[in-house]
Amino acid sequence: MSDLDPQALLERYRLVFDNAPVGLLHWDAHGVVTDCNAAMVGILGSAKESLVGVNMLTLHGDPSRVQIAAIVRGALEGRAGRYEGPYTSMTGKTTHVQALLSPIRGPSGVSGGLAIVEDISERKRIEAGLARADRMVSMGTLAAGVAHEINNPLVYVTLGLELIERELSSFRARSQPPDAQEWERVCKLCAEALDGAERVRSIVRDLHTFSRGEEERTGPVDVEKVLDSSIHVAMSHIRPRARLLRDFHPLLPVLADESRLGQVFLNLLINAAQAIPEGDPEKNSIVVRTRQGPGREAIVEVEDTGVGIEPWKMKSIFEPFWTDKPFGVGTGLGLSIVHNIVTGLGGDIQVRSEPGRGSTFRVTFPVQSRPPPASLQPAAPAQAQGGRRPRVLLVDDEAHLGLTLKVGLRDEAEVVPVRSGREAIRTLLADDGFDLVLCDLMMPDLTGMDVFEQVGAERPSLRDRFVFMTGGAVTERARKFLEQVPTQRLDKPFRLEQVEALLRKAG
């Protein structure tokens, strides 16, 4: 039989189709699936019989399936398209795929189409691991500087409190009450200590943006807010090298994960700082610009006056492990990870550079095109009855917090502190008259989640009175709990006025 025999050719191409290491799926001119190979069945977890006959133009339900249907429609009009992201099959199996969907043209035009699909779930898992490693390297690089940023305000917080203690001790030791000038001096020391503590709180809040675990939570993100946090964290690295200039214009929210977006900006800022030698910050600058593009896309630029990049190096800068920095400075992962995160969000990254005159990295993100999901509105705590003072149960293993709130709220509420989850459960099951339950999320014996679940099972009316306090270092279970349970939360450290606002609702 000749190699050109139609039957032999058909059998040969059948073997190629069936044994291809990537998923192959064919549809006809009406978008109806006519064939698929074993690799495609494995990727989607659906039997071949359930795939053949499906109309690719009418896929609905999961957003990824709707997007695939739109690309197939374009292929039948003669346009090839790509898709990368999660895909949920008809059986409910979700995997991360990379797909090229292309028209098949015959003598009379488009006769159908072919999808070439690869399961890249493992690759995405490895990339996520590298991104976490790079994030830790970045934070390690900045650790000494962040400690310096915290210690600066902390020194006058501690000195101020020491002076306040001395002043108050001297007032108590003498028989004459303090005059107005002495009280003013103490009040000024208190205000300065409070300002310093607020600065520390701000630094910790910014660090929290980058300290989350590996889970990705996509939603509408305020780009300017994330940029500000990234700048604050990187500032100790930038300050000895350059002036930081902001040129911000209003941006619409982008659909992203806040932590990943922060990693993009932090890496670009560190990269810009490392391109500038230390010692002459007044002669150098790093400019961060934002603006809305003509297609409403969000554009962020990081421009530096550093050493620049030679033209022959430009094609390699986004490759993993490539670096032109000295040994021990960087991992060569930063820009590669930036590129992966940006393109994974449907964005783009470009760079302009001239040796000796600096570089400009420009990232572009599509703005969020769908409305944000409706957030769960927490129910207001129960109202205090009969004009009595609200009663607050404070559940926290830190004894000093209980004492502080008892003193701070002495004129507004009755505060009952307990120092363990078990004690909280016993108290609430014996007395359901508390108007507000301020409960620490993570405690040594029982967590706040355990308290909520056990008390809520027997006293459902108390669920709406819980407000969880958290310092940010939470487990995956805690993160899911906070997302699913419609309770209010207080991020530590919080202000007394925030608790007073909760009391006003309760009373």
- Over residues 365-385, mean pLDDT: 51
The conformation of residue 177, written as its DSSP 8-state character, comes to P
Confidence of residue 1 (pLDDT cuts 50, 70, 90): very low
Confidence of residue 457 (pLDDT cuts 50, 70, 90): very high
- Over residues 221-233, mean pLDDT: 88
Q: Report the alpha-carbon distance of residue 300 to residue 350 in Å, rounded.
A: 11
Q: Report the alpha-carbon distance of residue 187 to residue 193 in Å, rounded.
A: 10
Confidence of residue 237 (pLDDT cuts 50, 70, 90): confident
Give the model's pLDDT for residue 33: 92
Give the model's pLDDT for residue 333: 45
Give the model's pLDDT for residue 429: 93
- Where do you find CATH 3.30.450.20 in the chain? 6-119
When the candidates are 3.30.300.30, 3.90.1300.10, 3.30.565.10, 3.30.450.20, the CATH number that belongs to 6-119 is: 3.30.450.20
What does 355-404 look like in DSSP terms, one character per residue? TTTEEEEEEEEPBP-SPPPPPPPPPPPPPPSTTPPPEEEEE-S-HHHHHH
Give the model's pLDDT for residue 149: 65
* Structure confidence by residue, pLDDT tens digits, 321-343: 445 554 444 444 457 778 888 88
- Tell whether domain 124-365 is in CATH 3.30.565.10: yes
Give the model's pLDDT for residue 398: 84
This prediction's pTM: 0.49
Average pLDDT, the chain: 81
Q: What is the CATH number of domain 391-506?
A: 3.40.50.2300
* Structure confidence by residue, pLDDT tens digits, 24-45: 999 999 999 999 999 998 888 8
Q: Are strands 391-395 and 414-418 parallel, antiparallel or unpaired?
A: parallel
Give the model's pLDDT for residue 468: 92
Instruction: Please check the confidence at residue 83 and state whether its pLDDT lies above 80.
Output: yes
- Where do you find CATH 3.30.565.10 in the chain? 124-365
* Structure confidence by residue, pLDDT tens digits, 471-496: 765 677 887 888 788 788 888 888 88
Element (H, E) at 35: strand 33-36
Q: Report the alpha-carbon distance of residue 463 to residue 459 in Å, rounded.
A: 8
- Where do you find CATH 3.40.50.2300 in the chain? 391-506
Instruction: Please check the confidence at residue 132 and state whether its pLDDT lies above 80.
Output: no
Which of 5-9, 140-144, 316-320 has the largest mean confidence?
5-9
Give the model's pLDDT for residue 382: 41
